[in-house]
């Protein structure tokens, strides 16, 4: 038994010294000191010894156990220290390395122009509304006095979702007039910017998706003079004092009378050049006095209230504001272009 214990001691200590991981150490602990371990087996067989032999053997066995436990602990500490050392090396962070530059995005010129427009109108007491791009034809057309058969409802111009032409991508922001009239208390002063869709081919001045800002005022005693005064003020704030405008008669189903407003060409100052196609003026928006029938359809008495509305092309406004020649530049999002604003 003495030799057995000595052998266990030599073997176990050698194995512990050679162990390369804490998992290996745990295995060795079980192998020698566990319930079915080698040393435990020897202790269990002590009963077979004579009473004289037992104390000496017992003491020897305890010494072996103590030596083994101590060796396990010492090797464990060594392994843990080595592991920490390795991780400190591996995970070392050089905080003196210069950081990678963060590339900041850039505001789009059209949204810069929109922010200016919003600020001007908010300053005049208007509320900014947001509305659906997928719109009911009843809002885009019927309630705006463009009944079935009206040329603007044609399939060749409009993106419909259903055979019955009831759901569509809005072709103008004007349905927001109706939505405001139906939900807001009078008097109303709103603008409603957003995307609109028409089946246009892409060229220097057209795109199947573009942006408008709708504007509307309804109150008692509102006249065309208020419309002109407001729009002239906005144009001067956007494009500078003294910028000239021109109002031409036009037709829209939902306004009467209707007009279009031109702004004097920023390139030639009104003499005529390629940018304004020789006209000296650039068309900017459609507007007019809200048709009494439109007011009536939304439950407003045209004998008590009157109002005006306008729809301004946002791309065009931005192009003039920042002197951009081609509409396609607005949609390409080339950073070399965007970074100029
Ligand atoms: N909705 C018209 C368009 O898209 C513009 C407009 C708005 C005209 C409001 C009059 C009043 O051309």
Per residue in 265-280, pLDDT tens?
Answer: 877 888 988 878 899 9
pLDDT at 106: 82
**For residue 71, what pLDDT is reported?**
86
Model pLDDT, residue 304 = 98
Mean pLDDT, to the nearest integer, of 160-181?
97
Question: Tokens 């070399």, residue?
Answer: 336
Domain ranges of the chain: 2-90, 109-338
| Pocket flag, ligand 1, residue 171 (CB < 6 Å) | no
Q: Which pLDDT score, from 0 to 100, does residue 64 have?
A: 86
Cα separation of 217 and 280, whole Å? 30
Does ligand 1 come within 6 angstroms of the Cβ of 309? yes
- Whether residue 205 is predicted with pLDDT greater than 80 in this model: the reply is no
DSSP string, 89-150: HHT---TTSPPPPP------HHHHHHHHHHHHHHHTTPEE----SEEEHHHHTGGGT--TT-
Distance from residue 174's CA to the centre of ligand 1 (Å): 6
Between 33-47, 178-192, 324-338, the lowest mean confidence (pLDDT) is in: 33-47
Alpha carbons 141 and 146: distance in angstroms, whole number: 5
Top mutation candidate among 151, 152, 174, 294 for ligand 1, by most atoms within 8 Å of CB: 174
Position in ligand 1 atom list of the atom nearest CA 174: 1
Cα(258) to ligand 1 centroid in Å equals: 9
Tell me how many helices (H) and strands (E) the chain has: 12, 9
Q: Ligand 1 in contact with 288 (CB < 6 A)? A: yes
Report whether pLDDT(313) > 90: yes
pLDDT band for position 110 (50/70/90)?
Answer: very high
The neighbouring-strand residues paired with 306 are 219
More confident call, 255 vs 19: 255
**Is residue 191 lining ligand 1, measured as CB closer than 6 Å?**
no
Q: Is the CB of 308 under 6 A from ligand 1?
A: no
Task: Give the number of other Cβ atoms within 10 Å of residue 307's Cβ.
Answer: 26
Host H or E run for residue 329: helix 327-332
Ligand 1 site, residue 177, Cβ cutoff 6 A:
no
Beta-bridge mates of residue 246: 262
pLDDT of residue 131 exceeding 90, the answer is: yes
- Distance, in Å, from the CA atom of 339 to the CA atom of 341, rounded to the nearest integer, reads 6
For 109-338, CATH number? 3.30.930.10
Give the residue among 199, 219, 221 at the shortest CA–CA distance from 208: 199
């Amino acid at each position: 038994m003495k030799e057995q214990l000595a052998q266990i001691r030599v073997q176990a200590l050698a194995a512990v010294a050679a162990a390369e991981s804490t998992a290996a150490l745990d295995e060795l602990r079980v192998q020698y000191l566990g319930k079915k371990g080698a040393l435990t087996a020897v202790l269990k067989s002590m009963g077979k010894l004579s009473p004289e032999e037992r104390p000496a053997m017992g003491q020897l066995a305890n010494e072996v156990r103590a030596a083994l436990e101590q060796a396990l602990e010492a090797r464990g500490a060594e392994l843990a220290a080595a592991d920490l050392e390795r991780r400190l090396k591996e995970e070392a962070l050089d905080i003196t390395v210069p950081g990678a530059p963060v590339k900041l995005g850039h505001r789009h010129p059209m949204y810069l122009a929109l922010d200016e427009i919003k600020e001007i109108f908010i300053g005049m007491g208007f509320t900014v509304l947001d509305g659906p791009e997928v719109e009911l034809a009843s809002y885009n057309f019927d309630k705006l006095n463009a009944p079935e058969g009206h040329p603007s409802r044609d399939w060749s111009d409009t993106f419909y979702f259903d055979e019955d032409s009831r759901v569509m991508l809005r072709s103008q922001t004007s349905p927001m007039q109706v939505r405001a009239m139906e939900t807001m208390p009078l008097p109303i002063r709103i603008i409603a910017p957003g995307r609109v869709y028409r089946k246009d081919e892409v060229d220097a001045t057209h795109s199947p998706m573009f942006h408008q800002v709708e504007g509307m005022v309804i109150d008692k005693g509102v006249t065309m003079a208020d419309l002109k005064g407001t729009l002239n003020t906005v144009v001067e704030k956007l494009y500078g004092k003294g910028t000239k405008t021109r109002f031409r008669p036009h037709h829209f189903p939902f306004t009467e009378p209707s007009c279009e407003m031109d702004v004097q060409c920023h390139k030639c100052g009104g003499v005529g050049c390629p940018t304004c196609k020789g006209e000296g003026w650039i068309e900017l928006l459609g507007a007019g006095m809200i048709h009494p029938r439109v007011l009536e359809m939304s439950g407003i008495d045209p004998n008590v209230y009157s109002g005006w509305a306008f729809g301004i092309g946002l791309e065009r406004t931005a192009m003039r504001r920042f002197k951009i020649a081609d509409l396609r530049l607005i949609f390409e999002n080339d950073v070399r272009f965007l970074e100029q604003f």
